[in-house]
Structure formats: structure tokens, C-alpha cells
Amino acid sequence: MGSLSEMLFSAEGRIGRRDYWTWSILVNLLALALQHYVFGRWTAVPAFLDALFYDDPWRPDETTILYGVVAALTLWPIVCLNAKRWHDRGKSGFIAGIVMVLGLACYALRWLYGDAAYYGDPYGYASDFAVLMRVVPSLYTIFLIWTFIECGLMPGQPRANSYGPPSDGYRYYESEA
């Protein structure tokens, strides 16, 4: 794989598991460091998404745009890395987009309906969307587990596929076939 920008901001091509894990860990560590720097504390949520959807008294409202920009800068590289890994497995990179949309939908549901989206709705505020609030987080969890298994643990296709030649980590040569 070529340059840093090609690796983190382009969803084209393929990467092997070693590059996937290396870059994923680096991007997530960077996201955590930025999160700690901007928030002043460590949080257990994905980089900055809570700041976009919740009104925390310790966060000034003027910085919401900054949080959104930083969230996009940390979320897009993760989507691109996952898309390339799906390509290496011979599957569409749009699966990474589905995971991202489901994750954002979980946060949007929580923003719209508060904790009722996850912990039940004792007052009936969100009863019209009760099924949606149960299905979306469940689908998101299933897709995350599937992504972890396929992208993180399973090897890619050893030969060229419709997404390009195998990454450098493969020992297969066409002359051996």
C-alpha cells in the first residue's frame, strides 16, 4: 500500500491482516489521545460521537462543530481500513458503510429518545419506535462481531480478485498454480 493518505482516506484496494491491525490500532490510539485532549478525560464511547448528540454541561456549545470535524477525521479512516479488508476477503466494501450507518443510527436513536432506546421506555415516549430501538442496536452488534471475525481474524484471498492483487504479505505466486 502506498502513502499515508491512500491508506487512511481511500477505500480502494486491499490490505492484509497485519496492516489492518497495525493501522486500526494506530487510528484508535490517535482517536483516544484526541478525545482525552479535547474532552480532558477518557471516555468509553467512539471518538467524539457522544459530544455531537448529548448536551453535557461541561462542554461549551460553540465547540460542537470542532467535535464533529474530529469525529469525521477519526471515523472515515476506520471505515476505509475496514472496506479494504472486506475487499481482501473478496467482498464489497459497502459492508463497512453499513456498519457505520448502523452505529450512527444507534447514536441518533439515543439522542432522540435518551436511554429509552437501550434501557426500556417506562413513560411510553418512544413506544412508536420500540421495535426500531431494539433492532438497530442488535444489528449493529451482529455486524461488529461479523466484521471482527472476517476482517480481523480470517485471511484474505491469496490470488488477485476484482478489487486488486493480493497485499504484499502473501507468499502465493501465480507461477506456483
Q: Higher model confidence: residue 174 or residue 71? A: 71
From 24-33, 49-58, 98-107, 113-122, the region with the lowest mean pLDDT: 49-58
Entry pTM: 0.76
The radius of gyration computed from the CA coordinates of the chain, to the nearest angstrom, equals 19
Closest to 112 (Cα-Cα) out of 138, 130, 135, 139: 130
pLDDT at residue 79 greater than cutoff 50: yes
